[in-house]
Structure 1
Amino acid sequence: MENLLLEFQQKIIRTSLDFQRYLMKEIDWNNQLVAIKGARGSGKTTLLLQYAKQHLNLKTSLFVSLDHLFFIENTLIDLAKDFSKMGGSHLLLDEVHKYPNWSRELKLIYDDVPDLKVIFTSSSMLEIYKSESDLSRRAVSYDLKEMSFREFIVFETGLVLKSHTLEDLLENHTEISNSLLQRIKPIPLFIKYLEIGAYPYYKENSKLYHQKLINTINLIIEVDINAVDHISYDLIMKLKKLLFAIATSAPFTPNITKLSERIGASRAVLIQAIKQLERAGLVNELYRPTKGIGVLTKPEKLFLNNTNLMFALAKNNTNVGNLRETFFVNQFKNLATIHLADHGDFLINEKYTFEIGGKNKTQVQIHNVKNSYLAKDNIEIGVGNIIPIWLFGFLY
């Protein structure tokens, strides 16, 4: 354990507090067991280390990744008990999905070491409430999304910009845009964000970012999905084929028969694979609000999860219309319910209808639709029910 404590101190020294993700202020850190889920590369590890550096007593805290060699000969439950006996108060666990029997031992820690607060991160694949040892009554779970457009601007420029609720944006978008225009030029920043701004590690080397993103995608499929669902090599290859098929076509209405033939999988396997890719943070499925969604229900429309994935996987498919819709869906994911609309493009919280388009887009499709809005690209400021699409990047 001495080596673990030393490694933790070294990580803390290297951890910067200059930029912090939106979730830092939303988590109730007082809970005994906190789960932070998110796609690989979204910043979960940094979030844990920043919280420790800023808020915890480092003498009574410990951070460790669950794929550490320490666990070849030691168990998590024994580490927790020994650390608690030494006066430990907070145990920060990274990548729990890489540890066998993670849920059973977390349950034991919760029950047997009640004075120890545990905060753990995991792949977005992990279904905490369906684990073999039910943690639903114990763990409070949070999802860490990719960077919003607002966060990208903060990360890129150092400016302090606040987020807004959807209702605030809809009612006061002109005033909000006016205020922001005093400080930023949103359109060139928005263009850059669409290509490289979803994951914080773009700053390490923006020229190699898309290649690193492809490497991350491979790790998500080969390591993260496999660690949770224990899939075969054959299915791993089918998932890669499916993701590429989606990337070169999305957003689109999937033809399950043709997709099945293209990747060599049955309808049931294909639909399950789509859902695995969604849980892994790689694609988004959309349905109409009246459609029942079951295990074998095919999505009515498929999107890549964010626009950076479009540039990395299928640059030839990055036409401006696809980018706009993919961005809009991504910014609302996990913040609101989003469906396909009967009139217009999207229905948010089963109340607000949005049509997405360029600066010359008309309101024909949403004419006479109650609570309808036109989200336009390439404009700095809107009026009435016309709102700049980039402003929806300020929801978190």
Structure 2
Amino acid sequence: MDFTKFFNEQLELINRLDLEFKRIVYELVDIENNKLIALLGQRGVGKTTILLQKLKEINSDNALYISVDNPYFSTVNLYEFAKKFEQYGGEYLFIDEIHKYKDIASHLKAIYDMTNLKVIVSGSSLLQIYKEADLSRRVYEIKVPVLSFREFLEIKGYKFNKYSIDEIVNNHIEIAKIINSQIKPLKFFKEYLEFGAYPFFLEGISSYKQKLLNILNYIIEVDLPYTANISYANIDKLKRLIYLLALSVPFTPNIQELSQKTGISRPSLLEYLYLLEKSEILINLHFKSRGTSKLQKPDKIYLNNTNLIRAITDNSNIGNERETFFVNQIKSYFLNKKSFFDENIVLAKNGDFIVGNYTFEIGGKNKDFKQIKGIENSFIVSDDIEIGFKNKIPLYLFGFLY
């Protein structure tokens, strides 16, 4: 087998690659101490760039990048390809778009068990990676979220530290002063809400929303039917569902009413809400200690990020956007912090959200403390303010978590 064409292709790719900006999850990609790493995340968040940056950093003639959406791999046994590469001296194999290869899990299992290769794979379909065989004890999983507001600013040329939730809560005035001494954060924040969640904003904002809609359509029309056996007859119904959510105020679902409006049966609707969250189109939240399952109604539903809302509709609700930003950044912050049960952010009976020991109420600059009065460790998170005061924190600061 001749690997020359693959090495020539990867040389072209890495020669035009910029190593100056790296996603925050890059530091987790420890190929020397993990035999199989999976980068998982929505399309467009930069997984391929992370693969190629790591390849360029290794700088080895024994490292190879392939993308299995190349028609060549439709007739090639991936395990046999990997085995042959190892026989020719290969040590590192980077496999992009892995979810597009049939029977991927069994091939990865065989590569893991029968070769000494260090392997990094990337996949946009989180549903497909574990579908066919148990890889849980073999794979080190890294989830790649959308860009944080901090990462967006770094790409723009403004580099800031990341801060934990505790640091933001306890030191938000000092942190905000540091940021405001260098930029006008509200100006950039408005840009981020519309065009900043995906790195391809660098390719131009005139085509940004169309590219984002293309990603959304591909997930709904290709990924979901392929991985979750959703009938093609329900694709338009799924799009109607997502459109309704984009228009909504923070959405507390009435499943019967939503079923009638979309034409999706109640059991299917509950399953679709679950699958759409796994595909990172939606975020489903519950009140504390309720847990999650395929057949459980979420207590609130959000689109994954504000860019999706803006791409779908020009009539978005400002309250929905504020909450969506906060929920997205908190969920993304905890994405690679492994826990047995995901209750990192839950809905609050008084206030909007509980994160750890803190209660947060989200609103505009004039939001008062009435809804969280008397609640210990409670805070107002306000849009349209540059620097907070006491227990009132600027909303944009939660974009500096990662």
Aligned pairs (5 A) from 1:1-396? 1-30=3-32, 31-53=34-56, 55-113=57-115, 115-126=116-127, 128=129, 130-156=130-156, 158-317=157-316, 319-336=317-334, 337-349=344-356, 351-396=357-402
Q: 1:238 to 1:125 in 2, by over 3 A?
A: farther
Does the aligned pair in 2 maintain the 1:152–1:193 contact within 8 Å?
yes
Could you tell me how far apart the structure 2 residues matched to 1:331 and 1:78 are?
41
Gaps of at least 5 residues in structure 2 are 335-343
Could you tell me how far apart the structure 1 residues matched to 2:168 and 2:31 are?
29
Does the aligned pair in 2 maintain the 1:125–1:279 contact within 8 Å?
yes
3-state DSSP of counterpart to 1:311: helix
Which residue identity is paired with 1:346? F
| TM-score relative to the length of structure 2 | 0.94
Could you tell me how far apart the structure 2 residues matched to 1:11 and 1:381 are?
43
3-state DSSP of counterpart to 2:44: coil
Worse-superposed segment, 249-258 or 59-68: 249-258
Does the aligned pair in 2 maintain the 1:271–1:297 contact within 8 Å?
yes
Percent identity among equivalent residues?
Answer: 45
Q: Deviations over 1:153-199 (max 9, x none)?
A: 1112x122121111111111111111111111100000110011000
Does the aligned pair in 2 maintain the 1:344–1:366 contact within 8 Å?
yes
Which residue identity is paired with 1:108? A
Q: Deviations over 1:104-150 (max 9, x none)?
A: 0100000000x21000011253364x433211110010110000000
Q: 1:167 to 1:127 in 2, by over 3 A?
A: farther
Could you tell me how far apart the structure 2 residues matched to 1:293 and 1:77 are?
36
3-state DSSP of counterpart to 2:379: strand
3-state DSSP of counterpart to 1:63: strand
Could you tell me how far apart the structure 2 residues matched to 1:11 and 1:57 are?
13
Does the aligned pair in 2 maintain the 1:254–1:300 contact within 8 Å?
yes
Could you tell me how far apart the structure 2 residues matched to 1:355 and 1:231 are?
37
Worse-superposed segment, 236-245 or 56-65: 236-245
Q: 4+ residue runs of structure 1 moved beyond 4 angstroms?
A: none
Could you tell me how far apart the structure 1 residues matched to 2:291 and 2:259 are?
22
Q: Aligned-pair distance for 1:235?
A: 2.6
3-state DSSP of counterpart to 1:316: coil
| TM-score relative to the length of structure 1 | 0.95
Q: Aligned-pair distance for 1:9?
A: 1.2
Which residue identity is paired with 1:343? N
Q: 1:145 to 1:124 in 2, by over 3 A?
A: farther
Q: Aligned residue for 2:338? A: none
Q: Deviations over 1:220-267 (max 9, x none)?
A: 112222332243211322222211121122521111111111221210
Worse-superposed segment, 186-195 or 254-263: 254-263
Does the aligned pair in 2 maintain the 1:32–1:117 contact within 8 Å?
yes
Could you tell me how far apart the structure 1 residues matched to 2:243 and 2:261 are?
11
Q: Aligned-pair distance for 1:207?
A: 1.5
RMSD after superposition: 1.4
Q: Aligned-pair distance for 1:292?
A: 4.1
Could you tell me how far apart the structure 1 residues matched to 2:224 and 2:160 are?
35
Could you tell me how far apart the structure 2 residues matched to 1:247 and 1:320 are?
11
Could you tell me how far apart the structure 2 residues matched to 1:380 and 1:250 are?
25
Which residue identity is paired with 2:23? R
Worse-superposed segment, 284-293 or 179-188: 284-293
Which residue identity is paired with 2:149? F
